[in-house]
């Protein structure tokens, strides 16, 4: 009991009106719950879908661990945990790109497509970190490079090779691909708003009054959990069709 009490005493306390810290806490709990859901459901599907569900669980689990540390960092220092944030993203965002490859693999997707998406997402994140955490004086330039990598990903999945493969697959695969594309186009668009809210530039008059961390936290919950649920739904529907055939 004494050890347990010491643990809780060591955890930094948040003020009751700390809505930023609250979003870190809720984000951690939501990601952890999603991870448990995905991991425990893996045995319910055909073998070909288990890797996709595993990756969905890993995405939310990695995020949950980082949110735990980010919540404590915020409570202790009252400043944005930029480094932890980008460590989280450099692990989870490429995995989200891998999901496109996994659901399109049966339609002929190659590892080349997977690595193109991974490299593009890595460029997007590294340049974003440079502008937000290293060289804020040139945040607009780094943001532009990051944005270019983002739009390249959008092009590949909406109009390029990934879209062609999804169209040829049709059915539930095409439906899931289109939903994931909307997450990237709309859901990922939340992050540039957070970036502009936290860095100097011509956009300060528009987004300067917004809280960067709240925007990022909401975006993470929507996108990472949402991605996993789309893949889960695809696995459920495809397994039902296979059983009925």
The model's pLDDT over 22-42, given as tens digits with 9 standing for 90+, comes to 999 999 999 999 999 999 998
Cβ-in-10-Å burial (0-12, 13-18, 19+) of 22 comes to middle
Nearest residue to 177 (alpha-carbon basis) of 190, 198, 161: 161
How high is the pLDDT of residue 11? Answer: 54
Angle at the Cα of 51 from the Cα atoms of 50 and 56, rounded to 5 degrees: 95
pLDDT > 70: percent of the chain: 92
Q: Which CATH number fits domain 19-237: 3.30.70.20, 1.10.760.10, 1.20.1070.10, 3.10.129.10?
A: 1.20.1070.10
How high is the pLDDT of residue 210? Answer: 83
Chain segment 159-218, per-residue pLDDT in tens: 999 999 999 999 999 999 999 999 999 999 999 999 999 899 888 888 877 899 999 999
Kindly tell me if the per-residue pLDDT of 7 is higher than 80. Answer: no
How high is the pLDDT of residue 2? Answer: 52
For residues 96 and 59, is the Cβ–Cβ distance under 8 A?
Answer: yes
Nearest residue to 96 (alpha-carbon basis) of 122, 67, 68: 122
Domain boundaries, the chain: 19-237
How high is the pLDDT of residue 12? Answer: 60
pLDDT-wise least confident of 134-143, 194-203, 236-245 = 236-245
């Amino acid at each position: 009991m004494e050890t347990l009490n010491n643990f809780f005493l060591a955890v930094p306390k948040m003020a009751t009106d700390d809505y930023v810290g609250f979003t870190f806490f809720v984000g951690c709990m939501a990601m952890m719950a999603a991870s448990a859901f995905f991991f425990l459901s893996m045995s319910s599907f055909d073998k070909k879908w288990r890797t996709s569900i595993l990756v969905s669980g890993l995405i939310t689990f990695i995020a949950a661990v980082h949110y735990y540390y980010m919540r404590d960092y915020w409570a202790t220092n009252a400043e944005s945990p930029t480094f932890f944030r980008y460590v989280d993203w450099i692990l989870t965002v490429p995995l989200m790109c891998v999901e496109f490859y996994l659901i399109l693999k049966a339609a002929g997707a190659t590892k080349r497509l997977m690595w193109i998406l991974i490299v593009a997402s890595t460029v997007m994140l590294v340049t974003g970190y440079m502008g937000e955490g290293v060289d804020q004086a040139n945040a607009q330039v780094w943001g532009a490079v990051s944005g270019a990598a983002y739009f390249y990903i959008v092009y590949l999945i909406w109009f390029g090779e990934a879209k062609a493969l999804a169209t040829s697959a049709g059915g539930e695969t095409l439906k899931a691909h289109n939903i994931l594309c909307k997450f990237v186009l709309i859901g990922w668009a939340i992050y540039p708003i957070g970036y502009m809210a936290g860095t100097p530039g011509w956009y300060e008059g528009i987004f300067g009054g917004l809280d960067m961390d709240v925007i990022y936290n909401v975006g993470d919950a929507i996108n990472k959990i949402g991605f996993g649920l789309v893949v889960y739904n695809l696995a459920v529907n495809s397994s039902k069709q296979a059983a009925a055939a």
